[in-house]
Amino acid sequence: MTHTIFIDGAAGTTGLEIADRLEGRGEFELLRLDDDRRKDAEARRDALNEADIAILCLPDDAAREAVELIDTASRTRVIDASSAHRTTEGWCYGFPELVGRERVADALRVSNPGCYPTGFLALVAPLVRAGLLPADWPYTVNAVSGYSGGGKALIERMIDKPNIAFRTYALDLAHKHLPEMQVHAGLDHPVLFAPSVVPAYRGMIVEVPLHLGAMQNDPHSDALRDALAEFYTASAVVTVHDDTPAGELLLETDAAPSDGLELFVFGNEGGWNARLVARLDNLGKGASGAAVQSLNLMCGLPEMTGLLLQNA
């Protein structure tokens, strides 16, 4: 069976990577719009309604508009890579490891997780669920991203200004990922989020530093690592490292695209201070890889097909 796919926003950073991952897969037929029609609402409406699955790789407003262009009677299912529907009722959060594969497989509307939330939630959500971390803790998230995370506009800016060595932002402390992180981790409060950009095209590190000794249940860092390893034991996408890299963790500017997600728990000698760290590709499990994983599930195909994983 062939599934008809329309990528709305196919000329953008995320859309192009999804198309690359679908290239040569006989299970899919891609509907394409010529460059002069790709923003034409009527052409998009036709493609959106003709597709079995529409993948939205658009700014939030355009993603909302795309959903409105789909007729209510249409059988088109949607994967939205934008942040427009990540906490919207009726939408499935497309993080199969956290919400369950069956829910994604059966969903009509899937919202792809944000890149930073993917790292944060992978680390914190299972531990809060297990009662090892408190839901009412004031969590802080420090993160650094490659500049492709900001799409075409930031890519252009970072290439035009090669003197930018580090860019911190979201200084109003109101980043659009806050609701998503809070809701899907089941937290009582929004996190304090400090994102930044470095002059690498892709890749990111998301870190949650924790004073474990100040928590009422006083969890040991080893217990957190063990719980994460157990939680992701069956996952081909998520790796929980039990070895500590020699004193440092790197993002490399020439790292190959990857749809994997690596998790680390670093603890001090007494285990009462910890740094939970996720390393991922913002365009892999942070965007395009996650969309393809959900697409596979929604089409009843093996979940890992077409993903950029060493063993896939």
Ligand X SMILES: NC(=O)C1=CN([C@@H]2O[C@H](COP(=O)(O)OP(=O)(O)OC[C@H]3O[C@@H](n4cnc5c(N)ncnc54)[C@H](OP(=O)(O)O)[C@@H]3O)[C@@H](O)[C@H]2O)C=CC1
Ligand Y SMILES: CC(=O)N[C@@H](CCC(=O)OP(=O)(O)O)C(=O)O
Helix or strand run (H / E) with residue 213:
none
What CA–CA distance (Å, rounded) separates 138 from 28?
45
Q: Which stretch binds ligand Y (CB under 6 A): 91-99, 144-152, 254-262, 267-275?
A: 144-152
What are the tokens at 55? 């993948």
Instruction: Please identify which residue in 76, 82, 258, 293 interacts with ligand Y, judged by CB under 6 A.
Output: 82
Contact 304, 236 (CB under 8 A): yes
Closest CB 301 distance from ligand X, rounded Å: 22
Stretch that binds ligand Y, among 113-121, 124-132, 267-275, 295-303 (CB under 6 A): 113-121
Task: Name which position in 149, 203, 219, 289 contacts ligand Y (CB under 6 A).
Answer: 149
CA distance 125 to 96: 13
Is 221 an interacting residue with respect to ligand Y (CB under 6 A)? no
Q: Cα dihedral sign for 257, 278, 180, 260?
A: positive
Residue among 108, 76, 107, 111 at smallest CA distance from 93: 111
| 94: partner contacted, choices ligand X, ligand Y, none (Cβ within 5-8 A by kind) | none
Cβ 186 vs Cβ 125: under 8 Å: yes
Hey, what are 185's tokens?
A: 């981790």
Give dist(CA 297, CA 165) in Å, integer. Answer: 40
192-198 and 167-168: which strand pairing?
A: antiparallel
Q: Which is nearer to ligand X, 154 or 265 (CB)?
A: 154
Residue 234: how many CA atoms within 13 Å on its side-chain side?
A: 6
- 296 contact, one of ligand Y, ligand X, none, CB 5-8 Å limit per kind: none
> CB under 5 to 8 A by kind: which of ligand X, ligand Y, none does 28 bind?
none
| Pairwise CA distance, residues 274 & 226, whole Å | 14
Residue 115: active-site member: yes
Q: Between 84 and 301, name the residue whose CB sits nearer to ligand Y.
A: 84
275, β-bridge pairs = 209, 266
Positions touching ligand X (CB under 6 A) are 8-9, 11-15, 38-39, 57-60, 62, 81-83, 114-115, 148-149, 151-152, 282-283, 286-287
Asked if 178 is part of the footprint of ligand Y (rule: CB under 6 A), the reply reads no
Contact 78, 276 (CB under 8 A): no
Per rule CB under 6 A, is residue 115 in the interface with ligand Y?
A: yes
User: Quick one: which segment of 19-27, 44-52, 143-151, 240-248 binds ligand Y (CB under 6 A)?
Assistant: 143-151
Say whether residue 15 binds ligand Y (CB under 6 A).
no
For position 83 contacting ligand Y by CB under 6 A, the verdict is: yes
Q: Does 240 bind ligand Y (CB under 6 A)?
A: no
What sign has the CA pseudo-torsion 153, 292, 179, 193? negative
Residue from 13, 145, 221, 288 in contact with ligand Y (CB under 6 A): 145
The verdict on 13 binding ligand Y (CB under 6 A) reads no
**Catalytic residue positions?**
115
Q: Which residues bind ligand Y (CB under 6 A)?
A: 82-83, 114-116, 145, 149-150, 154, 176, 195, 197
